[in-house]
Amino acid sequence: MGIALNLGFSLIEAVIGFLANSVAILSDAVHDFMDSGSLLLSLVAAWVSQKPPDEKRSFGYRRASILAALLNSSILMATAVFVGYHAVRRVFQPAEVRSVYMLVVAGLSIVVNGAAVLRIGHDRHHDLNLQSAFMHLLEDALGGLGLLVGGLVIHFTGWHVIDSVIALILSALIFRGALRIVLKSINVFMEGTPEGMDIAALEQALLSHPLVQEVHHIHVWMLDTTHYSMSAHVRLRDRTLPPGLYDELAELVRPFRVHHLTVQAEGPEGICLPCC
């Protein structure tokens, strides 16, 4: 329902943007349209990511959501550059903008997106997906506020260049937000260390086990933004592998959101022991 409402509003906004000759309205329409597509693609990716591992995908399909985020954000960056380019041209070649249309679109945008922000605002703290949706809707509502300011300025002063200025600001904000998601997605695909992960603290957690003498070759990577995997070599104080050692070590790293741990145990002299 929310996707259909946002998609319908973006199409209406695009038509009004052409009628008003406003590049700011068109940039906001493109943003809303991309948000609708992003949400739809994210829903499909979320469904795919729940598929269990198989012979072809031994880690499962969790990165489908990351792939969707990378694709969405890359398209959004290209769109922001396109809109920004036309906005810059308008700065040097100002065109008359019908401010009444801007005010109408601004009012609708604030009402539609503002209502959605209030609807999910109280629940967003417990769900990363809701947090992302909340930020998108808040950004859309702020875009409507920008259109309102621009429409009022044009209506009372006749300064039509403000339309291009607002379009440039919206494009810059969209580009920056999309670039941030692209970089985070690339970090996941490059199997980079999760953002905010304290490797030293992770090492100390393993060293807190009475049988662990040393920890090295620590690798932590992400399957997606909520599921972390880890591998490490642990040198033990004894060559004997007690039953339950792996479970005890896995429990020590669980507070770091590590869902899958692979351990290579070594004896006191550093020689690898049979896998635990």
Superfamily per CATH, domain 2-189: Cation efflux protein transmembrane domain (1.20.1510.10)
CA-CA distance, 193 to 195, in Å (whole number)?
A: 6
Nearest residue to 259 via CA among 124, 68, 59: 59
Determine the pLDDT at residue 261. 93
pLDDT over threshold 70, residue 18 = yes
pLDDT over threshold 90, residue 26 = no
pLDDT over threshold 90, residue 216 = yes
User: Contact, 111 vs 76, CB < 8 A?
Assistant: no
User: Contact, 260 vs 226, CB < 8 A?
Assistant: no
CA-CA distance, 194 to 228, in Å (whole number)?
A: 8
**Total Cβ atoms within 10 A of residue 49:** 20
The DSSP string of 135-170 is HHHHHHHHHHHHHHHHHHHHHHH--THHHHHHHHHH
User: Contact, 3 vs 133, CB < 8 A?
Assistant: no
pTM, rounded to two decimals: 0.75
CA distances from 231 to 220, 221, 249, 261 (A): 7, 9, 11, 6
Find which of 24-33, 39-48, 221-230 is predicted with most confidence, using mean pLDDT: 221-230
State the DSSP H helix or E strand holding residue 263, giving kind and residue range, or none if neither.
Answer: strand 258-266
Q: Is 126 exposed, middle or buried (0-12, 13-18, 19+ CB in 10 A)?
A: exposed
Segments making up each domain of the chain, as ranges? 2-189, 199-266
Q: pLDDT over 70 for what percent of the chain? A: 89
CA-CA distance, 209 to 247, in Å (whole number)?
A: 12
pLDDT higher at 118 or 217:
217
Per-residue pLDDT tens over the stretch 99-129: 788 888 888 888 877 776 776 655 555 444 5
Helices (H), 93-229: 99-121, 128-157, 161-189, 199-207
Find which of 7-21, 96-110, 221-235 is predicted with most confidence, using mean pLDDT: 221-235
Phi, psi of 196, rounded to the nearest 5 degrees = 85, -5
Give the CATH fold of the 199-266 domain: Alpha-Beta Plaits (3.30.70)
Tokens 């603290």 found at = 201
pLDDT higher at 221 or 50:
221
Determine the pLDDT at residue 80. 81
pLDDT over threshold 50, residue 178 = yes
Q: What is the distance between the terminal CA atoms of the chain, rounded to a whole angstrom? A: 50
